[in-house]
Structure 1
Amino acid sequence: MAEGHRITIEQGTQRVRVVRGDQVLAETERPLLLRETGCPVRYYIPPEDVRLDLLTPSGTHTYCPFKGTASYWSLPDAADLVWAYPDPKPDVAGIKDHLCFYEVEVL
């Protein structure tokens, strides 16, 4: 990793829920908490706890030199609302296939 850049991943136990409008898109009590230098804490949610049936894969991909290439999913009214790393870098292998939303409720 770059000098001064740090990423840590820990197993969370708090309930995390993603709601858009009146739909619950995800709810879990086993999020992974990813802390990265200069970024807010991100909650990565196991795919079993996400309503994947409501999401449509998008053609968007972004590259992070520390985490790898992210794939995105959208709702009809919210493009690229959620992302995941299907093949993350070894240092962050724990987040493989977990999904991360921009906005979450921590309960």
Structure 2
Amino acid sequence: MGRDGTDTNGTDANGTESVWDYPRPPRVEPDTRHVVVRHAGVTVADSHRCLRVLETSHPPVFYIPRADVRAGLLHASGHGSFCEFKGAATYWTLVPEPGHPPVPDAAWSYEDPAPDYAALAGHLAFHADRVDACTVDGEPVRPQPGGFYGGWITAEITGPFKGGPGSQGW
């Protein structure tokens, strides 16, 4: 335990994590909890082998191994962005079963991440607000506000979180 009553991951005695205890630059850590992404009645991803990225002011982002994502449902969208730490991001459109509309930019990945984030290669992250449901150990996830960053909020995560109104300059 640290002097502030938190362990080295920022978790306090009650099991809560403040995003303000997360590092900058971000840290990547393994997470073996059961992560599931569902959309249009289909399990899109199901894993116990995720990586979690922790960054100051952001809820964690869960990166799921590509091998644990149902093949054939994601297609590169042609969109991208750049993270000063992780590098160039590729966005993916989710194309669920026939009869359901595609979901543009539902997921993203770092196909060739910066060296400090090499572990993220071969993993995908999903925007919780663009699919029907994301869960961590059965708990429904709330999306990070603002629609851009893609963090997942669960009961143990406390904010305030970047992405909401008035947080642009954080």
Asked if TM exceeds 0.5, the reply is yes
The structure with the largest helix share of the pair is: 1
Output aligned runs, 1:50-89, within 5 Å.
50-75=69-94, 76-89=101-114
Name the counterpart of 2:118: 93
For 2:109 and 2:117, locate their aligned partners in 1 and report how far apart those are by CA, in whole Å.
12
Higher relative contact order (CA 8 A, sep 6+): 1
Output aligned runs, 1:1-107, within 5 Å.
5-75=24-94, 76-103=101-128, 104-107=134-137
Contact 2:25–2:85 (8 Å) recurs in 1: no
Superposed CA RMSD = 1.3
Deviation string, structure 1 residues 54-107 (Cα, Å, up to 9, x no partner) = 112110011111110010111243100000001111111111120000122101
- How far does residue 6 in structure 1 lie from its aligned partner after superposition? 2.5
Identity rate of aligned residues, in percent?
A: 39
Q: Helix, strand or coil: the match of 1:5?
A: coil
Contact 2:45–2:68 (8 Å) recurs in 1: yes
Q: Which amino acid aligns with 2:43?
A: V
Runs of 4+ with deviation above 2 angstroms:
none
- How far does residue 26 in structure 1 lie from its aligned partner after superposition? 0.3
> Structure 2 unaligned runs (5+)?
1-22, 95-100, 129-133, 138-170
- How far does residue 39 in structure 1 lie from its aligned partner after superposition? 1.4
For 1:102 and 1:52, locate their aligned partners in 2 and report how far apart those are by CA, in whole Å.
18
- How far does residue 21 in structure 1 lie from its aligned partner after superposition? 2.3
For 1:52 and 1:36, locate their aligned partners in 2 and report how far apart those are by CA, in whole Å.
29
Q: Helix, strand or coil: the match of 2:59?
A: coil
TM-score (norm 1): 0.90
Aligned pair count reads: 104
